[in-house]
Amino acid sequence: MSGYARRGVHGQTVEAIAHRVLSGRIGAGDTLDLGALQSELGVSLTVLRESLKVLAAKGMVDARQKRGTFVRPRADWHLLDADVLRWQFESADGPDTGAGNALLRDLAEVRGIVEPAAVRLAAERRTDADLATLDDALAAMERASEIGDEAVDADLAFHRALLAASHNEMLERMEMVIATGLAYRDRLVHASGHRPQNPVPSHRAVLDMVRACDADGAEAAMRALLEQSARDLDEIRGKGAAG
């Protein structure tokens, strides 16, 4: 279990309702039947109401007199909230579904905008401490198996460190989007059985350019890395279509 599910009955209830909304089982505009939910989830009304307050704070549900609690339009959801992001990826069935494809497309577009710009700044502003953190993350990637949680964690650590090395607070906040989406992408690749190209050389190329204070080189190396990431996902889709 992850996120809210680790927080006992309350957290599990938050996640259970969130996934019902994200999957469309409870659609936008639908009024929630609290009695049915309480019975289905086996929780007290107090736990249910407290859980709905969490989702209300994230823009997903609201309550009105005479109408009750209902699902708000997707346009009102706090889509960049860390939990809402994670729930979206968890609710997508895979890269061959409409939802999965849309999420992966959005992620690729965001990364293509954010990360090349971030590494340019990192090349101009990085400190010795930033380089040490990046070196540690790359070393962890080298030690990790090509598949599994260790590889995913090392990949995330490297990309977080790159954003931090930009020394731009707003770009650093994009870590939430990049990390959540990247974890989903990495796990899809690894779960598919596809053996991706060794990621260490492409990441080392980015780090070398950042270390050399070469902004153009860092951007070019990051774009090459992202292109390889896209090719890995294309191969997964090809296997899915063949199957």
Tens of pLDDT, residue by residue over 160-180, are 999 999 999 999 999 888 888
Q: With cut-offs at 50, 70 and 90, classify the pLDDT of residue 243.
A: very low
- Which of 178, 149, 146 has its CA nearest to residue 162? 178
Q: Report d(CA 158, CA 180) in Å as an integer.
A: 14
Q: Is 61 helix (H, G, I), strand (E, B) or coil?
A: strand
Task: Centre a 10 Å sphere on the Cβ of residue 43 and count the other Cβ atoms it contains.
Answer: 19
pLDDT tens-place string over residues 67-113: 999 999 999 999 888 899 888 888 765 544 556 678 778 888 999 99
70: left (phi over 0), alpha (psi -120 to 50) or beta: beta
- Which of 68, 34, 28 has its CA nearest to residue 51? 34
Please give the mean pLDDT across all residues of the chain: 87
pLDDT tens-place string over residues 27-80: 999 999 999 999 999 999 999 999 999 999 999 999 999 999 999 999 999 988
Q: Report d(CA 49, CA 13) in Å as an integer.
A: 10
pTM of the predicted model, to two decimals? Answer: 0.79
Residue type at position 6: R
pLDDT, average across residues 123-139 = 98
Please, where are the H alpha helices in the chain?
8-23, 34-41, 45-57, 82-91, 98-125, 128-143, 149-165, 169-173, 175-191, 200-211, 215-242
Residue that wins the pLDDT comparison between 182 and 125: 125
Structure tokens at 160: 């977080």
Q: Report d(CA 130, CA 218) in Å as an integer.
A: 15
Residue type at position 157: A
Q: What is the CA radius of gyration of the chain?
A: 20
Q: What is the pLDDT of residue 41?
A: 95
- Which of 129, 107, 130, 106 has its CA nearest to residue 206? 130
Q: What is the pLDDT of residue 242?
A: 46
Structure tokens at 55: 């989702």
**Does 1 have pLDDT greater than 70?**
no
Q: Report d(CA 134, CA 60) in Å as an integer.
A: 37
Contact 70, 29 (CB under 8 A): yes
